[in-house]
């Protein structure tokens, strides 16, 4: 039996949005800090409506989302000083449009593999300046909604 739309929305963790550390938001999307002690500064840009693919959005909405993703990348680079940034949109496990903005360091547990790969080493732990990220995001994107 196929689940209805209301069931899908109720079960979607990105639609429910409880307990998130929101750094910035507007009426279309939000940037959250991911609680990942192995990957400090890991942010997620989440489209607020339940949409599955980038091409489900109108061109203006896609442009807005990508502007937010690029600003998030730049802000993470300025605040965290990573060796590399990974941008990813997968949605295989959670089919709700979102982008991962992941600062990578050559001494993190999985580098140079993806953060979802088995670790190669213990990895160096870092802190995250959440307030600094939020402040710089507001400077570049405005106060949001």
Structure confidence by residue, pLDDT tens digits, 135-145: 999 999 998 76
pTM attached to this predicted model: 0.91
Show contacts of 102-108: CB within 8 Å, 24+ apart.
102/39, 102/41, 102/42, 102/43, 103/39, 103/40, 103/41, 103/42, 103/76, 103/77, 108/38, 108/39
Sorted by where each starts, the structural domains of the chain and their CATH numbers stand as 5-141 (3.30.428.10)
Q: What is the pLDDT of residues 110-133, one digit of tens each?
A: 999 999 999 999 999 999 999 999
């Amino acid at each position: 039996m196929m689940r209805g739309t209301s069931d899908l929305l109720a079960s979607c963790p990105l639609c429910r949005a409880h307990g998130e550390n929101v750094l910035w938001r507007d009426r279309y999307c939000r940037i959250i800090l991911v609680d990942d002690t192995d990957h400090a500064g890991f942010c997620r840009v989440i489209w607020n409506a339940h949409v599955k693919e980038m091409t489900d959005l109108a061109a203006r909405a896609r442009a807005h989302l990508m502007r937010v993703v690029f600003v998030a990348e730049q802000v993470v680079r300025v605040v965290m000083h990573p060796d590399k940034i990974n941008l990813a949109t997968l949605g295989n496990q959670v089919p709700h449009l979102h982008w991962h903005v992941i600062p990578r360091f050559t001494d993190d547990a999985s580098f140079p593999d993806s953060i979802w790969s088995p670790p190669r080493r213990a990895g160096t732990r870092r802190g995250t300046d959440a307030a600094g990220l939020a402040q710089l995001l507001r400077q570049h994107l405005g106060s949001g909604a």
